[in-house]
Structure 1
Amino acid sequence: MRAHSGAPPSRRRFLALSAGGTAAGAAALSGCALQVAGSVSGGGGESVTMMTADGDIDPVLIPQAEKDLGIKITRIKMDITRLIAMLTSGRPPDLVRGIGAMDTPYFAARGVAENLDPYFAKSTILKADDLDPVNDLWRYDGKVQGKGPRYGMAKDFSQDSMYWYNTALFDKAGVDYPPETEPVTYEEWLETAKRLTQRRNGQTTVFGGSYNGTGITINLVALTAAAGGNLFTDDYSRVDFTSPEARKALTWYVNYAKARVGPSLIDPDPNAWDGPTYVANRMAMSNSGYWLGGMINAETKLAEVSRLAPAPMFEGGARVSSCQSGTGLWMPKKAPNKDAAWRVFEWFFGEGPAKSRAEAGWGIPTLKSLRPLMPHQEDYQKRVLKAQEDELKHFSVISFTPYVKVDALDAITNQIIPEAMKGQISIDTLAGRLDSAMNRQMKLGKGLVS
């Protein structure tokens, strides 16, 4: 890998940032010379700019943090186009939102992310032995995730192949509950979903089960790992959907869509995601992981009949229960106020915001010392917590490619896979088309960083 100079990253290095080198990436770069509105000036380490999404930080916590830390915190909304502009102009935010499972290799390989190991080594708030293993998604050694320097940290997480289920809907359909600590097979899960699906006058009134993960590509990566393989080649420069394991994963997901037991590209959920549908008692199972508990806990009657089950496994495959997101923050190498940014980083991940997230049940805390704050007062919460604690034993990091953003791969899959879901093309044809289109993007991406 090429050594990086102290200069800002060239525009060429980011041609693939938004859409794998497509027109969207080029369009994003058209704004690189624009003034960066909303950034705060450096000097004295007293001001920090955070680029985050709505909902990442409770706004009421910021004034108190500014008072306690003596640091001005300015939040600007996460925008990939604007981020490219700021990075390439050499004036980036101090902290940036990222999805550890997919973003870490991408930004580390391009030399724009700061190695945070020296900061962690000195911290009395974020101690290495207190970090949950999920934070290894934010490590990258130049080849794979889970090893090497830390480039960020997850704010909370779920094992996203775990699924919630509504016992009242199981009872109504006369279906036995899944085991609480032993996984069913994916084949069994799909058969159960078929039995739980309710239709009236040709319309689905209750989805038997949703199994889309946090995104279509990362879900297929996780399914392939569960089948005992890797969707990527050993050097992560290509995908291979024709391998037996990837083909098994692809076949299962296409069959899930064909069965119309849950939302898919050919049968979309009007709510656009599982949360509102599950809360409305119109979805019997949802593989949203522990994170959805924050929403479920707000509805006492629903929470009392909801359970959390282990991630399924393929017959003969490994028991794999990964995190498909690990959303958190990273620090650009050219951040103007690194010491102040680190203090805000500590606050966000180890103090007020972290404690609030843990208490609400919106994800598992990424500091082990905060786990006692997870909701456990009610019997149904204790039951969920027991299932989740047992599942933590089966967590593992699954590496993603550094050569292209997941959005570009999702766009390809979204365009091609519906034909297979409708039975218009075979799995073999689908695998070949996905390989061809994705590998063209990845080859371009590799050329930009190697």
Structure 2
Amino acid sequence: MTARASRARRTAIAVSSFVAASALLAGCTGGGGTAGSGDIKLDVMMGAQDLTDEQKAAFEADNPGIKVNIIAWDPTRLNTMLASGNPPDVAFGNAVGSANFNARGLATDLTPYLADSDVLTEDDLQPVNDAFRWDGKRSGEGPIYGIVKDWSQDNALWYNTALFDAAGVPYLSDTEAISYDELLEISKKLSVINGGTTEVYGLGMEWAWTLYGPIAAMVEQQGGSLFNDDLSEIDFTTPEAQKALQWFVDYGQSGAGPTSLNPLPDGSDYSTFAAQRMAISQDGYWFGGNFAADDAMKTVRFAPAPTMGDTPVAMSFGGAGLWIPEQSDAKDAAWKFMEYFLGGEPAEQRASSGWGLPSLKSLADKLPQEQDYQKQAYEVVQNQLQYTAPLPDSPYISAQLLQDTIDKYLQQAIKGDLTVEEAGAQLTDELNAALAQGVDQVG
């Protein structure tokens, strides 16, 4: 996967999970049509980089009668195809954010397929897959509606030891989580600003990717929760939420890292980090896949997710995977493709590349450990598994709306137009109005 592809993946995590109620796009096709000579045309909407031509040919050779048609992943087009009742047969989606699709009955229950499969079985699924579960009221329990292809502990940290050495800052611990307050102080020491120009950022938070993810994790680490029990209301006025918002305001005002007020040109930490102009980036294990072939980046190390409280929590903010739309008329063929992509050669290749953690327990030993940084990151990951927890996923609001609204009020607080208390109150009111609409829509 290229850096461009990894940026596309981060964008995917932040998109809306709501189905757009917009006019149909001209020319949209989907739903398992005929490819000719009696073949099933299996429409698969996913990243163009996720399946090679060789893998596609191998699947078709092993499954005569099925022809795979890759549709470039596009959330707007997917929403329109779903709204038209003419969806792809297999679709890319994130486990966190799937609650709305599942609550609206748009996804197929995969539990019966798992029960009959020799390739994908429930007892081989890592717990991250539970975010694709829906019991009729909330995510995390009940039947499963999708399967993760790869995932990460997304609030963990990658850092460049060469920049730590230059600043005289001790390395981060491999086993003990640093506090967010300590992390911010370190990032200030690592920043290099000359004449008003930032030459080295101390810390990147992937601001354009997700703000909800790290803030929700910060609140959980303090023993709180942003949402109420049924995920129909959110509250940024609690002491735990206020502390998290205050940290982001302090971070934004410090100049130690990019925000939407001073964004990176490409909206992603990678190119700046790779250019050795960023000392730390809060990115998951998958970020290390960038470094395998880059000799200039062998000074990287991985560190546990920072904490804001007494409870270490490492969270997946997405969990990229595949699901089968309920209205597909080629579900059996779609399942065969999922078995191949998620449990066959493509899954083994992904695991061995270091681009994320495999969602199958049986593939854990495929993670790369040839290079020193890979060995070190592997050990950190194994230790962090005990602290991994799901990110709260409300079916009543989209990830994009959460991102945009949080960003709007953080900007105002960073500029001093609102206090953190005022920002939290207005943020709560605006998002609860949207959640109420979502409750009415989902029912």
Question: Could you state the TM-score of these two structures normalised by the residue count of structure 2?
Answer: 0.91
Secondary structure (helix, strand or coil) at the match of 2:226 reads coil
| Partners of 1:208 and 1:382 in 2: CA distance | 25
Matches within 5 A, 1:115-130: 115-130=109-124
Listed one character per residue, the Cα deviations across residues 186-241 of structure 1 (whole Å, up to 9, x for unaligned) are 11111111110111111111110112374122332222212221111221112100
1:370 maps to which of 356, 363, 384: 363
Matched-pair contact (CA < 8 Å) for 1:45–1:339 = no
- Taking structure 1 as reference, are residues 385 and 87 closer, same or farther at Cα in structure 2, changes over 3 Å only? same
Residue 179 of structure 1 and its aligned partner are, at CA, apart by: 0.9
- Taking structure 1 as reference, are residues 266 and 348 closer, same or farther at Cα in structure 2, changes over 3 Å only? same
What does residue 434 of structure 2 align with?
441
1:197 matched to 2:173 = no
1:148 matched to 2:142 = yes
1:111 maps to which of 105, 114, 130: 105
Matched-pair contact (CA < 8 Å) for 2:206–2:268 = no
Listed one character per residue, the Cα deviations across residues 147-168 of structure 1 (whole Å, up to 9, x for unaligned) are 1111101111110010001111
1:305 matched to 2:299 = yes
Larger displacement relative to structure 2 (378-387 or 76-85): 76-85
Residue 45 of structure 1 and its aligned partner are, at CA, apart by: 7.6
Equivalent AA in structure 2 for residue 41 of structure 1: G
What does residue 413 of structure 1 align with?
406
Matched-pair contact (CA < 8 Å) for 2:231–2:394 = yes
1:137 maps to which of 118, 131, 142: 131
1:393 matched to 2:386 = yes
- Taking structure 1 as reference, are residues 72 and 373 closer, same or farther at Cα in structure 2, changes over 3 Å only? same
Secondary structure (helix, strand or coil) at the match of 1:101 reads coil
Report the count of equivalent residues: 425
Matches within 5 A, 1:216-295: 216-295=211-290
Matches within 5 A, 1:328-367: 328-367=321-360
1:36 maps to which of 21, 28, 38: 28
Secondary structure (helix, strand or coil) at the match of 2:441 reads helix
| Partners of 2:163 and 2:304 in 1: CA distance | 19
Listed one character per residue, the Cα deviations across residues 25-82 of structure 1 (whole Å, up to 9, x for unaligned) are 45xx2117x4534665159783311111332323442122211222211111222332
- Taking structure 1 as reference, are residues 42 and 222 closer, same or farther at Cα in structure 2, changes over 3 Å only? farther
| Partners of 1:148 and 1:406 in 2: CA distance | 22
What does residue 9 of structure 2 align with?
none
What does residue 82 of structure 1 align with?
77
What does residue 10 of structure 2 align with?
none
Equivalent AA in structure 2 for residue 300 of structure 1: D
Say which structure is richer in strand: 2
Matched-pair contact (CA < 8 Å) for 2:286–2:356 = yes
2:87 maps to which of 84, 88, 92: 92
Structure 1: unaligned runs, 5 residues or longer:
1-16
Q: CA RMSD in A?
A: 2.0
Residue 414 of structure 1 and its aligned partner are, at CA, apart by: 2.7
Question: Could you state the TM-score of these two structures normalised by the residue count of structure 1?
Answer: 0.90
Listed one character per residue, the Cα deviations across residues 386-435 of structure 1 (whole Å, up to 9, x for unaligned) are 11111111111122110121112222223332111122210011011111
Listed one character per residue, the Cα deviations across residues 348-404 of structure 1 (whole Å, up to 9, x for unaligned) are 101121111111110011111112221111233211111111111111112211012
Residue 135 of structure 1 and its aligned partner are, at CA, apart by: 1.0
Equivalent AA in structure 2 for residue 171 of structure 1: D
What does residue 171 of structure 2 align with?
177
Structure 2: unaligned runs, 5 residues or longer:
1-14
| Partners of 1:67 and 1:186 in 2: CA distance | 52
Equivalent AA in structure 1 for residue 361 of structure 2: K
| Partners of 1:297 and 1:201 in 2: CA distance | 35
1:167 matched to 2:154 = no
- Taking structure 1 as reference, are residues 370 and 234 closer, same or farther at Cα in structure 2, changes over 3 Å only? same
- Taking structure 1 as reference, are residues 308 and 192 closer, same or farther at Cα in structure 2, changes over 3 Å only? same
Listed one character per residue, the Cα deviations across residues 298-351 of structure 1 (whole Å, up to 9, x for unaligned) are 21231x211100001113x31110100101111111111000000000111011
1:326 matched to 2:325 = no
Matched-pair contact (CA < 8 Å) for 2:39–2:67 = no
